[in-house]
Amino acid sequence: MAMRHIVPVVSGKGGVGKSTLAVNLAVGLGLTGARVALVDSDFYGPSIPTLMGGGEVIADHEGQLVPPLKHGIKYVSLGFFLRNPDDAVIWRGPMFNKALQQLFQDVNWGEIDYCIVDMPPGTGDAQISLTQMLRLSGAVVVTTPQEVALADVRKAISMLDRVKVPVLGIVENMSAYIQPDGQQIPIFGKDGGKHLAEKLGVPLLAQIPIDISVREGGDNGMPVVLDGNSNVGKVYRELALKLKSILDTSSQTDSEVRIVN
């Protein structure tokens, strides 16, 4: 098993569309012909099974777990292992750490170019565990434009800086609602993510508008990035290409899954 790049998708707070973005980013990378894995480490709110249209893992002849393959990518989620999908996950740090490690070490991923990790919001055990366990290529940070989201995302970026994980870029989600006549309504404020990216000197990877097709695709397990005729789908595809370019031109050449003991 080898993973060339491992990239967590992080946010300072919930409700900014982080999981939806992680799914569309992973599927978008898969559309380029890359070998892509998606790991749902948001154990307290695993939504990847819904966003990807279900799935299940099976054991191979060596006892390793084989992840489902859909929309061109391999993916796994704690949601696959819950008896009842509505059950709450009530874990302390050590249990979380062990489960996270198993999602990488006990799953037969094969050769992977890009692994996207959907992280829980905030700066808690999950973020610390991932940075201690794996050598990451860098993080994609998701925010909405309003100050209440930006205040929390600045804390997340501060955490990434302290654990020496570079910010590959910022995605401003729900940037505006585009009316049928083309007028943009900045429901959550304007250009907050753009200004933060400029202040930090990191790329603004995308400004993703509010679009009903994003919600419909998530509910139906058909990520909107698959729709090449959708305007927001095209934005997600451009986002994937930007991230791919950043990763492919980085100095990292180590192709092994970099588990830190």
Bridge-partner residues for 122, per DSSP? none
> Between vectors from CA 218 to CA 142 and to CA 20, what angle results, nearest 5°?
10
Taking residue 93's Cβ as centre, other Cβ atoms within 10 Å add up to: 12
Cα-only R_g, the chain:
17
Residues in Cβ contact with 119 at an 8 Å cutoff, skipping those fewer than 6 apart: 8, 9, 10, 11, 18, 41, 42, 126, 127, 130
| DSSP helix/strand/coil, 52 | coil
Structure tokens at 201: 């000197």
16 phi, psi to nearest 5 deg: -100, 5
User: What distance in Å separates the CA atoms of residue 196 and residue 220, rounded to the nearest whole number?
Assistant: 33
- 8 Å CB contact between 167 and 202: yes
What homologous superfamily does CATH list for 2-248?
P-loop containing nucleotide triphosphate hydrolases (3.40.50.300)
Residues present in the chain in total: 261
Q: What are phi and psi of 131, to 5 degrees?
A: -70, -30
**CA-CA distance, 163 to 136, in Å (whole number)?**
11
pLDDT for residue 252: 54
| Confidence at residue 170, expressed as pLDDT on a 0 to 100 scale | 95
Q: What was the pLDDT predicted at 261?
A: 46
The pTM of this model reads 0.90
Q: What is the pLDDT along the chain (261 residues), one digit of tens a residue?
A: 689 999 999 987 788 999 999 999 999 999 999 999 999 987 777 889 999 998 888 888 788 889 999 999 999 987 787 666 555 555 555 666 777 888 898 899 999 999 999 988 766 666 777 777 888 999 999 999 988 888 888 888 988 888 889 999 999 999 999 888 888 899 998 999 999 999 888 999 999 999 999 999 999 999 999 998 999 999 999 999 999 999 998 755 444 455 554
- CB hemisphere CA count around 114 (13 angstroms): 31
